[in-house]
Amino acid sequence: MAVTTHILAEGPGWQVRDITCDSGPRDKAFEEQHSGVSIAVVTRGSFQYRTRAGSAVLVPGSLLLGNAGACFECGHEHAPGDRCLAFHMTPECFEDTVAAAGGGRTTFDRPALPPLQQMMPLLAAAEAARDAKDGGAFEEIVLRLSGAVASLLTPTGVHPVPRVRDVRRVTLAARRIEAEADTKLSIAALAREAAMSPYHFLRTFRQVIGVTPHQYVLRTRLNRAALRLRGGDEPVAAIAFDAGFNDLSTFNRRFRRLMGATPSEYRSGNRAA
């Protein structure tokens, strides 16, 4: 049996890992322990998960739920192998997110959640971030996933309309992003400056602006790159790096997805027009 773990992203109180296991029916399950709060998205294969809260068969789209300090076993009694995106949080980080989401249980009373239709967009975004090696996207995904799980386990009703002062704070955060889009702006730092919890900041920003902070940063960067492509002969790589992208292939892929053409095609097409 071999388990391969890669750390994809981490921040204050959280970490995201890509975990692949090739264990099979002949391998004996052994007891492990969750070091923190764990929410793992199964992206391939299947396995049996047993913990004090119960047992479950997990398949792609399922969410493994683990309480900090809880012992558990994973086994592959029926077929070998699985792959998961594991989101690990300190109890304090998870409790802060649950409180910002409206309150509720901060411990899991069940071992897992089944594949749910309403979770598909968020889980797809998590896999896309993993495959694109987009570590910057995971800060938002950790918060959104934690809040979504808390809401599913403890329904809290309709979110209130943002308060006037929170609208002002989010607007100022958007202005800062506009001014400093080429720098690394974490949700934690923006929320701290706005005197809001990260989850509350993320939720309010999306309510007020219409997109998440990460999406707003990307669109601001890509818009500025498009303007420079239209107006000059600078190398595409220089424009990408100045806009805040550390990887040219990531810039090319995101630009094409948003603009419908590669940067070079976009530049040529506008000159021809």
Kindly report, residue by residue over 28-43, the tens digit of the pLDDT: 888 899 999 999 999 9
**Residues 234, 267 contacting (CB under 8 angstroms):** no
For the domain spanning 3-153, the CATH number is: 2.60.120.10
Side-chain-side CA neighbours of 10 within 13 Å: the count stands at: 9
- Band (pLDDT 50/70/90 cuts) for residue 157 is low
Residue 169 clears pLDDT 70, i.e. is over it? yes
Candidates 204, 214, 98; CA nearest to 152 is 98
pTM of structure: 0.78
> Do the Cβ atoms of 113 and 64 come closer than 8 Å?
no
Location of structure tokens 């994809």? 8
What is the model's pLDDT at position 132?
86
- pLDDT tens digits along 59-90: 999 999 999 999 999 989 888 899 999 999 99
> H or E segment at 66?
strand 63-66
In the CATH scheme, what is the code of domain 216-272?
1.10.10.60
Residue with tokens 């550390």: 246
Distance CA(35)–CA(70), nearest Å, equals 8
From edge to edge, which strands make up the β-sheet containing 54-58? Answer: 31-33, 71-75, 47-51, 54-58
